[in-house]
C-alpha cells in the first residue's frame, strides 16, 4: 500500500481536500456541531457503558479520535456495523485485534434484529457482571456520521418496544432527572433488574481526521461528504487501492462471460440512475432492474480487470499507476454507458462507481489493513 500513501500525499490532493500540509487535522469543523459535541461529552460522563459504532470496512479509520481519551476510561463495546459489506475472510482478524487490546468487539448488521439482540445481550452481560448496586444504568451510542447509529437506534427501539410495550406507545421512555443534568434524558428501556436504558445520541459528532488517507477512507465510506473531497478524487483513491491489491484480477472469470447487456441494443436500454435501483421500503426494484444492475456491475468489473491485465507499467510507480487510473476512467465510462462527450463524464463515472462500491455490488471489502496494526497469527 506504499504507492497509495504516496499518491494521497501529492500536493494537488492536499490543496483540494483542505488538509494542512504538515499532515495535521482536516480543517472543516462546522460551527453548529460544537453544541452537539458538548452534549455528547456531558452524556458520556453519565453513561455506564458506551456502544461505539464503527464501520466494519474501516475499523480503525472510523474511530472518533476526539472521543478516545474519554472512552478509554469507560466500559465499552465496539460494534463493527455493516458487516455485510465487509470482507468476512478478514473480519475475524479484526475481532482478534480488538480482543488483544482488551476491547469487547462484535460485528453486526444494524438492520438485523437478531444481530442487534446479540449486541444487547453482550451489553446486559457486561453491566450485570460489574454492577449490582445501581438501580438505573445508562448506555450511550456514539459514532462518526454514516456508520449506522440511526439504524441501530431504530432496531433497539423496536426490540425495546416489544419487551416493554408501554414505552412503545410513548415512543421514548424517560430515564428521569440525573445529577448535573437540567432536563430529563430520553432513552429506550431494554432490561429490568437492573433497569438499563439506551440513550439517544444528541446530534452528530464530526470526526477528527488525523491524516489524508484516513480522510479518504472516511469519504469513501460516506462519513465525510463527497463535496468536501470530490467524487473524482475519492474514485481515484479507490481505484489505486483496488489496483495495488490486485483485486480486479479476481474478476478474470468474467472477461469471457456474455451478459444480457452485451446482447441488447443500447437504444433499448432504459436510462437508470444507480441510486434509483437501491432497495426502497415501498417500491423494491423489479427483476429487470436487478438484472440491469447485475449486468452493469459485471461490465464494470470486466473493464477494471481487462485494463489491469493489459497494464505493462509498474504499480509501484506513481506516474504509471496514475496512467492506469486514467485508462480505467475511460473504460468505466464505456461500461457505465455514459456519453463520451458528456461535460461532466468523470464526475458521472465517479458517482455511479462509488454507488456500486458503497452498496456492496463490487464485493465485500475492508480498507484498513490489520497487518499494519497487528501481526498475522
| Mean pLDDT, range 307-327, rounded to an integer | 93
Distance CA 209, CA 23 (A): 10
Residue of 251, 219, 222 whose CA lies nearest to 236:
219
| 3 state DSSP class of 145 | coil
| Residue 139 near residue 200 (C-beta atoms within 8 A) | no
Angle at 215 between CA 214 and CA 217, to 5 degrees: 65
Pseudo-torsion of CA 359, 28, 80, 128, nearest 10°?
Answer: -140
Residue 18 sits at the vertex; the CA angle it makes with 14 and 23, to the nearest 5 degrees, is 55
**Quick check: helix, strand or coil at residue 367?**
coil
Q: Tens digit of pLDDT for each residue in 201-246?
A: 766 777 778 888 999 999 999 988 888 889 999 999 999 999 999 9
Grid coordinates belonging to 84: 455485510
If pLDDT is split at 50, 70 and 90, which confidence band does 12 have? very low
Mean pLDDT of the chain: 80
Percent of the chain with pLDDT over 70: 73
pLDDT at 183 over 60: no
- Structure letter (DSSP) for residue 267: G
CB 211 within 8 A of CB 23: yes
Say if residue 346's pLDDT is above 90: yes
DSSP string across 183-202: SPPEEEEEETTTEEEEEPPP
Q: For 82-109, what is the mean pLDDT?
A: 95
Cell of 189: 428501556
**What are the grid coordinates assigned to 331, written together?**
473504460
- What's the half-sphere exposure (Cβ side, CA atoms, 13 Å) at 312? 0
- Binning pLDDT at 50, 70 and 90, where does residue 181 land? very low
How sure is the predictor about 170, in pLDDT bands with cuts at 50, 70 and 90? low
For residues 94 and 106, what is the distance between their CA atoms, to the nearest angstrom?
Answer: 10
pLDDT digits (tens, 9 = 90+) for 250-266: 999 887 765 444 444 44
- pLDDT, tens digit (0-9, with 9 covering 90-100), for 263-283: 444 444 444 455 554 555 556
Q: pLDDT tens for residues 54-75? A: 999 999 999 988 888 888 889 9
pLDDT value for 49: 94
Amino acid at each position: 500500500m506504499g504507492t497509495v500513501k504516496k499518491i494521497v500525499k501529492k500536493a494537488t490532493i492536499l490543496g483540494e481536500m483542505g488538509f494542512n500540509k504538515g499532515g495535521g487535522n482536516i480543517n472543516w469543523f462546522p460551527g453548529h456541531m460544537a453544541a452537539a459535541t458538548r452534549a455528547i461529552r456531558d452524556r458520556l460522563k453519565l453513561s455506564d457503558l458506551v456502544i461505539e459504532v464503527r464501520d466494519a470496512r474501516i475499523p480503525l479509520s472510523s474511530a472518533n479520535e476526539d472521543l478516545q481519551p474519554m472512552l478509554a476510561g469507560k466500559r465499552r463495546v465496539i460494534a463493527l456495523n455493516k458487516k455485510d459489506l465487509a470482507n468476512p475472510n478478514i473480519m475475524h482478524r479484526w475481532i482478534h485485534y480488538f480482543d488483544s487490546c482488551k476491547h469487547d468487539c462484535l460485528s453486526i448488521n444494524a438492520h438485523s434484529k437478531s444481530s442487534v439482540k446479540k449486541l444487547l445481550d453482550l451489553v446486559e452481560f457486561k453491566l450485570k457482571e460489574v454492577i449490582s448496586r445501581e438501580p438505573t444504568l445508562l448506555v450511550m451510542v456514539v459514532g462518526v456520521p454514516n456508520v449506522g447509529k440511526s439504524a441501530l437506534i431504530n432496531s433497539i427501539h423496536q426490540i425495546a418496544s416489544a419487551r416493554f410495550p408501554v414505552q412503545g406507545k410513548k415512543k421514548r421512555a424517560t430515564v428521569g432527572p440525573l445529577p448535573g443534568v437540567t432536563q430529563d434524558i430520553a432513552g429506550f428501556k431494554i432490561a429490568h433488574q437492573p433497569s438499563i436504558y439506551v440513550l439517544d445520541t444528541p446530534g452528530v459528532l464530526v470526526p477528527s481526521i488525523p491524516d489524508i488517507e484516513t480522510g479518504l477512507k472516511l469519504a469513501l465510506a460516506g462519513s465525510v461528504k463527497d463535496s468536501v473531497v470530490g467524487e473524482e478524487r475519492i474514485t481515484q483513491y479507490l481505484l489505486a487501492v483496488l489496483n495495488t491489491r490486485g483485486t480486479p484480477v479476481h474478476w478474470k472469470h468474467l472477461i469471457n462471460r456474455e451478459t444480457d447487456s452485451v446482447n441488447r441494443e443500447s437504444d433499448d436500454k432504459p436510462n437508470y440512475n444507480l441510486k434509483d435501483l437501491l432497495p426502497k421500503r415501498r417500491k423494491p426494484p423489479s427483476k429487470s432492474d436487478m438484472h440491469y444492475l447485475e449486468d452493469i456491475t459485471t461490465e464494470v468489473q470486466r473493464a477494471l480487470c481487462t485494463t489491469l491485465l493489459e497494464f505493462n507499467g509498474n504499480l509501484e510507480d506513481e506516474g504509471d499507476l496514475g496512467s492506469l487510473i486514467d485508462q480505467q476512467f475511460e473504460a468505466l465510462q464505456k461500461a457505465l454507458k455514459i456519453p463520451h462527450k458528456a461535460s461532466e463524464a468523470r464526475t458521472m463515472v465517479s458517482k455511479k462507481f462509488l454507488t456500486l462500491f458503497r452498496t456492496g455490488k463490487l464485493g465485500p471489502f475492508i480498507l484498513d489493513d490489520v497487518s499494519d496494526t497487528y501481526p498475522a497469527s
